[in-house]
Amino acid sequence: MPTLRPWGRLLAAALLLLVAAPIPATADDQMGLTVGPIESISGAICVSYEVGEPLTPRLKETLLQGMPATVTFEVGLWKRRALWFDKLVVAMRSEHKVVYDEWAKSFRIRSGQSPPRSRAVPDLDSLQALLFEGRRIPVAAAAALDSTGAYYVSVRVTIRPVAVEDLGEIERWLAGESPDPEGTQRGIPSYLLGLAVNLSGLGDRTAIKKSERFVPARLEGTRASLGFGRQEVAPP
């Protein structure tokens, strides 16, 4: 059996707490997700959204114990169709892997893929501000839509524990960006974290909201300037 480093002993102790703690029932509280009115800004159709309560006390505790998580945002622009399914016109998605780096005493966030963008924040409040505070994003060019058609925007937010098969990627990410000054191997022991994933009682947390319906020709334009055509719904 491998020898546990200090962080390994901490995680093992956390596992004992997870096993002993009762697993609460999952509540569909929508995470405080709100979607604002649709706006037309300099020729772009824009949506505003905010996630007011993304992290439960249990999830905060588990993140601080080293459990990685993935935060996904999905935004869709839909056209209403009578007597048929609504048509998905635009789909936008972004994914952010989050893990607490015990050595740096900060949360590491890796966003996107081509290429991935890495950032660090010092605490949970900063993490919540970075990923979940209110933002406005462009979703389509107004000229590309049917000016008299009826549309709406959907926003889905998902927070889920990282799958065991993703642990190797996270270990390489942490070891590559934050090398241990003492030269010892860094990362998360997969045999311990795999147990944590299975025993934490944390399933996916998902919230989805729709905007009010809108007709492009009836939206009032403003003088604000925004670009559009982004490939990802990514926080700044």
Domain ranges of the chain: 6-21+37-127+149-217
Q: How far apart are CA 105 and CA 120, in angstroms?
A: 10
More confident residue, 131 or 25: 131
pLDDT (tens digit per residue) in 151-205: 999 999 999 877 655 666 666 666 665 544 454 445 555 444 554 554 444 568 8
Q: Which residue has the higher pLDDT, 126 or 231?
A: 126
The pLDDT of residue 54: 94
pLDDT average, residue stretch 214-221: 87
Q: Which residue has the higher pLDDT, 110 or 232?
A: 110
- Kindly report which listed range (6-15, 131-140, 151-160, 202-211) carries the lowest average pLDDT score: 6-15
Pairing of strands 69-79, 87-101: antiparallel
What's residue 221's pLDDT? Answer: 60
pLDDT for 74 equals 97
